Structure 1
């Protein structure tokens, strides 16, 4: 089989490797069918993911078909369409015992701390795969993982129907958060500098848009909310300074919540007064925990218009195109999904 390795920042290789063999009675062999290209894959390739090591096979948004099962596997069978959890956790530490396996003391993340899905076959434990009904096209099943992130971070943010939500950055994850909040019944404001993805947000039902390239964000938020500010703000732009910008007076109302999703390592300029005068909640969110099954159900119920997120389906045989697009990001390339024969 072929496997794609990022060997060092800005370097990759396509290698011929052996199809892995089952070594445990509870393992399954998966033939890959689709893998989404995430911002964290960009960061791995560009040397900007502080959680990554090299050499590494990227890819954590993975969908495939079960081709072999261990002797004691009972949850899946050969031929099942599945998605693969990106998290490998110990199941024993305090975090795992309290429902926070995504920040397990020994957590490994596929495509970052351990090898991911940009290869033709891989092995996983049966507990790490989830059956996807064949009514869901398998190439779009790769989007179940990022939608699980939307479910997780909105749960972390305690989002409810009467919230007014502000989303800074409506790329793939921001758009998913927007759709998740709209499915909960919220009023949502989308903010970005890219007019094309703001137009996409409007097509997908966002209530208001703000182009921060040519509009004053806080003034527009005050106008939209009748001078109150929003109750929840998500930082899905994740650049240096983006988190600080959400603390600007007038954006988030007293007792509001700010949810951070990024891994920027440079310090932000946030003071105790900025947090405590309004008694805001600053909430971290990483990946997802226990959201795959609810997200699969949401896909079946057609709660999300996920097809509009994908701009490019790229065959695995043309993996060079994926890396070219990483190095030369174009406005037309929004979300890539790698497909396998």
Structure 2
């Protein structure tokens, strides 16, 4: 089978690898479509501290179950499935309280174990979620990105009368817009970004206001409006301090970033307003929720897709995703 392998940072190859056999409790997925995430690019360049090399990347993927290991019902062969990349132990403290995404023994498919940029991939049977026919093959890999928005909003508990501010109109920011508007009915969603074309995408995905903060500070553009809910989907360490300054008293701030750089913020800026700060990593069993949202038409994954390329053009696809944020949002890879 053909697999996209990062042998070492900077060394991306398409390799011919042996067909994997599912172990007990696993399924093998014949991958149909996969989509590119920023973390895939980070692994390519050696900027993901969790990756181990060599690694077949890809954690957003969809396909058909074509083989099962011991203990898995053979009737599952042929199922259309989206794969949750979060693999947990099931018995540590985080797992026991329903947060397997921060399991003490966490493994992420495509990061710690081989992923879905391959003609075939293995996954625990419990991680392979059957999809209704109403979700087309071409969009099925996008269930996973929406679980990121599902996870952070579950902490933030948006309300219709919230004034929401989202930093960043990349894929994470756009999924957050759709979830806030389509699922929670938030009436006012403001998005800040420094790329005009991304701001246009934000409006097309449901944002009510799109602000370019490349030259004029957000405080000036908000003109006294104090957001009650803020999501940092740009993932820059400087944002938290500004978010705390802009937030309404009793506001909620959600962080999705993974930067190792220090962030300067005072306790006073948080406690004086009694702000609530939430962090979110990956997703905690959000796949059924997102599948239902798509089936009900509450979110529209197709609005994120700008390019579709074959797996054979993986380096071109990854470079496009990384280098051309003006024209590119989500890139779908046709695997087979």
Q: TM class, shorter-chain normalised? A: over 0.9
What is the rounded CA distance, in whole Å, between the counterparts of 1:130 and 1:299 in structure 2? 14
Q: Which of residues 250, 254, 270 is equivalent to 1:255?
A: 250
- The equivalent residue for 1:126 is 125
What is the rounded CA distance, in whole Å, between the counterparts of 2:23 and 2:257 in structure 1? 36
Say if 2:198 and 2:326, in contact at 8 Å, map to a contact too: no
Q: Does 1:233 align with 2:234?
A: no
SS at structure 2 position matched to 1:243 = helix
Say if 1:49 and 1:263, in contact at 8 Å, map to a contact too: no
Say if 2:321 and 2:330, in contact at 8 Å, map to a contact too: no
Structure 1, unaligned runs of 5 or more: none
Say if 1:85 and 1:128, in contact at 8 Å, map to a contact too: yes
TM-score by length of 2: 0.95
Structure 1 segment 174-323 matched on structure 2, within 5 A: 174-183=173-182, 184-186=184-186, 187-221=188-222, 223=223, 227-248=224-245, 251-323=246-318
- How far 1:29 moved relative to its partner? 1.3
What is the rounded CA distance, in whole Å, between the counterparts of 2:80 and 2:120 in structure 1? 14
Say if 1:28 and 1:125, in contact at 8 Å, map to a contact too: yes
- The equivalent residue for 2:106 is 107
Say if 2:181 and 2:189, in contact at 8 Å, map to a contact too: yes
RMSD: 1.6
SS at structure 1 position matched to 2:324 = coil
- How far 1:76 moved relative to its partner? 5.9
- How far 1:329 moved relative to its partner? 3.2
What is the rounded CA distance, in whole Å, between the counterparts of 1:72 and 1:243 in structure 2? 47
- Comparing 101-110 with 66-75, greater Cα deviation is found at 66-75
1:160-219 CA deviation, whole Å, 9 max, x = no partner? 222111000011110000110002111210111111121122122211111112433112
Report the number of matched residues: 334
- How far 1:322 moved relative to its partner? 2.1
Say if 1:50 and 1:263, in contact at 8 Å, map to a contact too: no
TM-score by length of 1: 0.94
SS at structure 2 position matched to 1:229 = coil
What is the rounded CA distance, in whole Å, between the counterparts of 1:79 and 1:110 in structure 2? 21
1:62-89 CA deviation, whole Å, 9 max, x = no partner? 1111112235323961211101111000
SS at structure 1 position matched to 2:251 = strand
Structure 2, unaligned runs of 5 or more: none
